[in-house]
Structure 1
Amino acid sequence: MTTHDLVRLDRLGPALAEATGGDAWRAATAELISGGKSNLTYLLRSAAGELILRRPPSGKLLPRAHDMGREARVQRSLSGSGVPVPEIVLYDEGGLLGIGCYVMRKVDGHVVRGRLPASYARTPREREAMAFAFADTLAALHAVDYTAAGLADYGRPEGFMARQVRRWTGQWEASKTHPVAELEELGRRLAAAVPGQERCTIVHGDYRIDNLVFSLADPGEIKAVLDWELSTLGDPLTDVGLLMLFWREEGERQISLIPGVTHLPGFPGRDAMLRRYAAASGADLSDMGYYQAFAHYKFAIIAQGIAARSAAGAMGGQDFGDLDDEILQLARDGLTFIGG
């Protein structure tokens, strides 16, 4: 499908003009922001400025995936909470593009994918500040009173982890192209060893450096947290498990889908990040092995979904290549964190 088919500026432009009071949005342009591997993200430009559009991929969607209403709702609810989020300008259930979408303000700053911007966070002190701001913002999210924020019905905290394992197993069955014995064994072990849940919080579900906007002037300041597609209410240690997966250390194999910078000299390692999060949150991290195993399981299945959507031409022309080896390695690594 073309950008015209996916964005429909003939409909979206007038709606934005009405929502913002800026008539220049009737003559907007759209450019796909590469790097998005689930929902599609477009930079919208006009004489009135820049905005960001989020919409699902084209083609057949997995059940309960790509819910734009949830993304828009949680960001609106977190406004003023201390967790920085972009302002939602417009949400539409499907009348404009034929599927749910929303438009938000563009937040100025650096989105770090694969490399640091030139002359940015050059010193060990700046890199530590960047890392600790990342951990502190996650702790701040987990400290939000979700009832006061109007999100008491945003998820079902009871039995969260067991449901998560079942949900991602179902996603695997819906998107796999062939069996992967190691991944299926990891799923069985996770289902058999679900730990007790210490507390319930808002969970981001995909918390990593390239889903944040860092201040242009200060690497230790986060301007916005992005990509709330997988957010819900549940066990916050699932976010910490993902942090551990994505936080690669020097000399480690990089994850091709998530090119990062944390392996560069000067960034603190995983143990330091866990200590920082624990100090900020007061959380008991004694079961982190389970949550790290689950993070590998979940991300392997996300990778399979990306591969399936890419092969079906549903990713706006983006091609992420053959991910079979990466999925297998994620499964094997996940098994090292959980006993049989």
Structure 2
Amino acid sequence: MSELPGMNRDALEQFLRENGIEIAGSLAVEMISGGRSNLTYKAYDDNSAWVVRRPPTSGLTPSAHDMAREWAVTRALASTDVPVAPTVAFDRDGSVLGAPMTVVDFVPGRVIRARGDLSDLTDAQIDANATELVRVLARLHAVDPAEVGLESFGRPDGFVSRQVATWARQWQSVKTRDLPDVDRLHRALEAAIPVHSASSIVHGDFRVDNTIVDADDVGSVAAVVDWEMSTLGDPLTDVALMCIYRQPVFDAVLGADAAWTSDRYPSAADLAQLYSVESGRELTNWGFYLALANFKLGVIGEGITHRALSGSDTGAGARHAADATGEFIAAGIRALSGTTS
């Protein structure tokens, strides 16, 4: 059997043994997911299973594939009521697979990823799933970073201002054409940055397919996964991004029909209101946060196409991901036009 991309089974087995993991029989490894996110594998022997994650082998954006960040936050959250996979071992310097790697216990369950994954669920089950997702996000934002050793996990002061600047710089790096409305939205965001904002641990990429739910109860989240974008920042950026991911045009960015864009889930407005109730947090300057999330996704879509045109992204629909950019930017402008200070 040929080696999987980015994987060295023998080196992984030796690493596990060196970290006190007894391998029963032979170690097998299979790919769970690859492409634009971190590469994810299931490793298993006759008795146990683990999940191994490492950055992609090409087209790297270091801040988007930070394994040390993912390791730190999942390890810290193990003592909280936020469900995460138990951590096992971390190769910080990349000596095993040629890039930093995390190993966590395999959490059995179900991942709701594609539109078809909803076909066997009732509307009541989907509502229960959405409600629990929002409750988990509210619980995450309620964790005191200092109490779990994450007080230095990020720089919450000026977080939203840096986000605006970061995605504007990213646009200049990845744009495949001139879109005047991008600069228009950027300037409007700069002018509308909230003077005061809250701070919490943020996931940075929260939606249904970045969770594992109980196989028999989709209203129970077994683990939140994909923490490489997490930091200390404004919790409303997490909520707004979760809501903007609900837009059907997000399918163009993913190159697939996503479960989370299905109209069977509650509307973005309903999700935001539920979060406000569950967290006790006011959605102050909500239009700004929606606009920032749209700005970010518009740039991300453009970046996927930029990498496809340069030959470093061959994922499904990669060359057409930028088709969504204009729609996201327009939605951002509309959202910001209703912002009140």
Q: Does the 8 Å CA contact 1:17/1:25 hold for their aligned counterparts?
A: no
Aligned match for 1:280, one of 278, 281, 298: 278
2:268 aligned partner, one-letter code: R
Task: Identify if the C-alpha distance between structure 1 residues 264 and 157 changes in structure 2 by more than 3 Å, giving closer, same or farther.
Answer: closer
Distance change in 2, residues 1:69/1:202 (3 Å): same
Q: Deviations over 1:67-113 (max 9, x none)?
A: 11001110000002000011122211211122211122221111111
Contact 2:170 2:299 in 1 (8 A): yes
Alpha-carbon separation, structure 1, partners of 2:62 and 2:180: 24
- AA aligned to 1:30 is E
Gap runs ≥5 in structure 1: none
**2:73 aligned residue:** 74
1:293 paired to 2:287: no
The one-letter amino acid paired with 1:179 is D
What is the CA-CA distance between 1:253 and the residue it aligns to? 4.8
Question: Is the CA contact 1:72–1:102 (under 8 Å) kept in the aligned structure 2?
Answer: yes
Q: Percent identity?
A: 35
Q: Distance in 2 between matches of 1:307 and 1:6?
A: 23
Mapping for residues 175-190 of structure 1, pairs under 5 Å: 175-190=174-189
Structure 1 residues 3, 310: CA separation in 2 closer, same or farther (over 3 Å shift)?
A: farther
Contact 1:74 1:228 in 2 (8 A): yes
TM-score of the superposed pair, with normalisation by structure 1: 0.88
CA–CA separation in structure 1 for the residues paired with 2:250 and 2:4: 35
Aligned to 1:205: 204
Q: Which has the higher helix share?
A: 2
Corresponding residue SS for 1:51: strand
SS at match of 1:81: coil
Equivalent pair of 1:130/1:220 in contact (CA under 8 Å): yes
> Aligned-pair distance for 1:330?
1.5
Alignment of 1:124-273 (within 5 A): 124-248=123-247, 253=249, 255-258=251-254, 259-262=257-260, 264=262, 267-273=265-271
Kept in 1, the 8 Å contact 2:79–2:148? The answer is no
How far did residue 115 of structure 1 move?
A: 2.4
Which segment is superposed worse, 306-315 or 170-179?
A: 306-315
Q: Does 1:14 align with 2:11?
A: no
Corresponding residue number in structure 2 for 1:320: 317
For 1:184 and 1:178, how far apart are their aligned partners in 2?
A: 12
Does the Cα contact within 8 Å between 1:3 and 1:30 map onto a contact in 2? no
The answer to whether the 8 Å contact 2:303/2:322 transfers is no
CA contact (8 A) 1:10 1:26 kept: no
Deviation at 1:327, TM superposition (A): 1.8
**Aligned pair in 2 of structure 1 residues 331, 63: CA closer, same or farther (>3 Å)?**
same
Residue equivalent to 2:37: 38
RMSD between aligned residues: 2.5
CA shift digits 1:155-185 (9 cap, x unpaired): 1111111011112222222333333322232
In 2, distance between residues paired with 1:173 and 1:98? Answer: 30
Q: Do the aligned residues in 1 keep the contact of 2:52 with 2:102 (CA within 8 Å)?
A: yes
Which residue does the alignment assign to 1:306?
304
Task: State the distance in 2 between where 1:129 and 1:76 align.
Answer: 28
Counterpart CA distance in 1 for 2:62 and 2:42 is 27
- TM-score, normalisation: structure 2: 0.88
How far apart, in 2, do the equivalents of 1:223 and 1:330 lie?
Answer: 32
SS in 2 for 1:155: coil
TM-superposed CA distance for 1:205, in Å, is: 0.7
Is 2:108 aligned against 1:108? yes
Deviation at 1:120, TM superposition (A): 4.2
Q: Is the CA contact 1:209–1:260 (under 8 Å) kept in the aligned structure 2?
A: no
Tell me: CA distance 1:174–1:266, structure 2 relative to 1, closer, same or farther (3 Å).
closer
